[in-house]
Amino acid sequence: MEVLVGARSAQHLAQLRGLLARTKLIPIIAQDYDQAAALYRTCRGNGETVRRLIDCLIASVAIRLDAPVLHADADFAALAREGSRSDRGHTC
């Protein structure tokens, strides 16, 4: 959804849809929601404000799957900093 709202024209939207059609959809499981909430609390506790809770959910899925997240978003930078400080050693 975030990718699609960034489309600059109808042609660009069609290109983005074509790219997304080739990606793999990853299911979200119940533990991802708990992990997302924990990430948010950790960030807040350490003075980092994550502006969008959906970013915490995306990060929690990435952590579970040990998958990189391609982004240009300050929230993910904060989540990566906090994740790398944690005992779990998670980064996103």
Phi-psi map region of 47: left, alpha, beta (phi>0 left; psi -120 to 50 alpha): left
Distance in angstroms (rounded) separating the CA atoms of residues 44 and 32? 18
Residue 52 CB-half CA count within 13 A: 11
Domains, the chain, ordered by start: 26-85 (3.40.50.1010)
Q: Is the pLDDT reported for residue 84 higher than 70?
A: no
pLDDT tens, residue by residue, 4-46: 998 999 999 999 999 999 998 899 999 999 999 999 999 999 8
Q: Is the pLDDT reported for residue 91 higher than 50?
A: no
> Tokens 């579970």 — which residue?
64
pTM for this entry: 0.72
